[in-house]
Amino acid sequence: MLIIDGQAVDVAPARQRFVSIVSAFRNLFVPSHPRRSAFAIHVHRQRAVPQWKAVTTRLA
């Protein structure tokens, strides 16, 4: 609640509308995050760890 000129004004609907508009606008320009399965993430990590170790041992 917000008090303006002695009157209580409910700002929640206006805030919700603002967030909705900003979210819709953002969705036009920001690509959604690709959904990957847990297995795909697991395989990616299994392949990345040896590569990471190879790079870090060369730098040490």
pLDDT, tens digit, 9 for 90 and up, residues 20-53:
999 999 888 887 778 889 999 999 999 999 999 9
- Give yes or no for a contact between 2 and 8, defined as CB atoms under 8 angstroms apart: yes
Distance linking the first and last C-alpha atoms of the chain: 59
With residues binned 3-state (H G I as helix, E B as strand, rest as coil), the percentages for the chain, rounded to 5, are 65, 10, 25
Q: How many domains does the chain have?
A: 1
pTM above 0.85, yes or no: no
Domain of residue 41 covers 2-59
Single-letter amino acid, residue 3: I
Look at residue 2 and tell me whether its pLDDT is greater than 80.
no
- How far is C-alpha 15 from the geometric centre of its chain's CA atoms? 20
Phi-psi region of 31 (alpha: psi -120 to 50; beta: other; left: phi over 0): beta
